């Protein structure tokens, strides 16, 4: 099961249905590894369950061992459940692995704890010119680089092609206005069914909200020296929240306003055949197909539209970074391993497996699947959440963005009150 939606949360793996290239130019990491000196001992690598395919890691580890006679790769697959504590223990001890995959929102926490190696001087060797921008930012802390982008996924609008055709919608929406117009047409065609939803949109789906806030030129927080200042009360953030409410009210969604996309699982709702659209990742369609196997052939996707016609809105990039613990016993070998994994050969295999590659701008390996192709194109306009070491507290605790959405959508708070209260709560979590 690919962890696309789990990784979309980064540090706090969200319990949803999962969803989830050849480099051109720059240094070829494979060449660097092949000329590396011989060594002795073991290189321990921890990757997460559902990330790199077995065919990739088997070939990668063999190539690395062949290039480093006397070195054995001890490859271990880790589970997301409980990984935060396991990583904390390993990184603070004297017997840490040499290469570790971490969620992109986990990286600043470990970097701030002074347990990761500074990779700033190795960026060029690791194909740095082609790193995926959103993941690149998540691997940086206080001006230094600690994480190498591994892979990512992002959301798009998944829709029923047959319903669009029946409603007279000939092309996917390319702007917010066209999106709202499509909703109107869908409701006119299918609205006599009391269970129909033109767009299923949960009230607390804050990952989708980010796209609208960013599209309005706003943000949820900005760096303020070595700390962060919440900006949920800014004009851009307010405008994004207003559009979210407009979309909820226009769509006829029956999703709860006090819960997120996991409760109930939105892919299951889509699979029920009464929703024409939802915002999700490509792999969620496989979950929907468990309810209705025919839905796969009926499904298409388009990028989350911008308010500017012909553009897509920025999207939240969830995914993983690769790091080297500060107490790794062989930093040089660990870097060689990253050089090989971040090179064109293995990045292309990641793309063919359905992931947006982290260290390559060539996403042609995703073209074979129309939904993944849309995701890959949208990823170029991807962003990360604030790189606060305390961001995990936002996702694992009382999330101010969720509270803000519910309060505003239900009318319990005005726009100004909801954003002001959420801003104060977010400042308490990440402001220090």
* Cβ pair 366, 351 in contact under 8 A: yes
Q: Tell me the per-residue pLDDT of 369-412, one tens digit each, with 9 for 90 and over.
A: 999 999 999 999 999 999 999 998 999 889 999 999 999 999 99
CATH architecture of 156-315+397-430: 3-Layer(aba) Sandwich (3.40)
The fold for domain 4-154+317-383 equals D-Maltodextrin-Binding Protein; domain 2 (3.40.190)
State residue 432's pLDDT score.
Answer: 66
Sign of torsion, CA 193 198 200 204?
negative
Strand-pairing partners, residue 319, are: 152
Burial class (CB in 10 A: 0-12, 13-18, 19+), 388: buried
- Nearest residue to 384 via CA among 158, 207, 185, 128: 207
d(CA 51, CA 15) in angstroms, rounded, equals 16
Strand-pairing partners, residue 75, are: 45
| Domain(s) of CATH 3.40.190.10: residues in the chain | 4-154+317-383, 156-315+397-430
* Cβ pair 391, 53 in contact under 8 A: no
Alpha carbons within 13 A on the beta-carbon side of 58? 3
Q: Tell me the per-residue pLDDT of 209-239, one tens digit each, with 9 for 90 and over.
A: 999 999 999 999 999 888 899 999 999 999 9
Using alpha carbons, list the distances in angstroms from residue 380 to 126, 200, 317, 375, 425: 19, 25, 10, 9, 31
Q: Which stretches of the chain drop beneath a pLDDT of 70?
A: 1-40, 432
């Amino acid at each position: 099961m690919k962890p696309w939606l789990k990784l979309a949360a980064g540090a706090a793996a969200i319990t949803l249905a999962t969803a989830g290239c050849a480099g051109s130019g720059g240094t070829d990491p494979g060449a660097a590894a092949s000329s590396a000196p011989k060594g002795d001992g073991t290189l321990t690598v921890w990757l997460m369950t559902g990330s790199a395919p077995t065919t990739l890691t088997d070939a990668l580890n063999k190539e690395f061992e062949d290039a480093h006679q006397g070195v054995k790769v001890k490859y271990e697959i880790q589970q997301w459940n409980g990984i935060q504590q396991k990583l904390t223990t390993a990184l603070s001890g004297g017997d840490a692995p040499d290469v570790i995959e971490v969620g992109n929102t986990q990286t600043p926490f470990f970097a701030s704890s002074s347990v990761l190696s500074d990779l700033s001087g190795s960026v060029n060797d690791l194909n740095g010119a082609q790193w995926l921008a959103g993941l690149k930012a998540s691997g940086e802390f206080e001006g230094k680089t600690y994480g190498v982008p591994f892979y990512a996924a992002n959301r798009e609008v998944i829709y029923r092609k047959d319903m669009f055709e029946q409603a007279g919608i000939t092309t996917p929406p390319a702007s917010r206005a066209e999106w709202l117009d499509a909703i109107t047409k869908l409701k006119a065609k299918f609205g006599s069914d009391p269970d129909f939803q033109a767009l299923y949109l949960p009230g607390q789906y804050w990952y989708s909200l980010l796209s609208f806030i960013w599209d309005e030129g706003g943000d949820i927080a900005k760096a303020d020296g070595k700390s962060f200042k919440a900006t949920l009360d800014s004009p851009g953030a307010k405008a994004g929240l207003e559009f979210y409410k407009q979309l909820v009210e226009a769509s006829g969604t029956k999703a709860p306003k006090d819960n997120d996309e996991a409760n109930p699982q939105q892919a299951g709702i889509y699979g029920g055949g009464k929703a024409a659209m939802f915002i999700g990742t490509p792999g969620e369609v496989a979950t929907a197909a468990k309810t209705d196997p025919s839905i796969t052939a009926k499904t298409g996707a388009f990028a989350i539209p911008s308010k500017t016609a012909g553009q897509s809105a920025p999207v939240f990039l969830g995914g993983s970074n690769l790091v080297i613990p500060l107490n790794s016993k062989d930093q040089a070998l660990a870097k060689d391993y990253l050089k090989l994994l971040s090179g064109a050969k293995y990045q292309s295999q990641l793309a063919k497996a359905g992931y947006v590659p982290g260290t390559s701008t060539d996403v042609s390996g995703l073209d074979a699947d129309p939904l993944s192709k849309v995701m890959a194109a949208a990823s170029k306009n991807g962003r990360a959440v604030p790189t606060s070491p305390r961001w995990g507290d936002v996702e694992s605790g009382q999330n101010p963005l969720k509270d803000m959405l519910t309060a505003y959508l239900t009318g319990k708070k005005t726009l100004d009150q909801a954003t002001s209260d959420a801003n104060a709560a977010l400042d308490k979590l990440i402001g220090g």
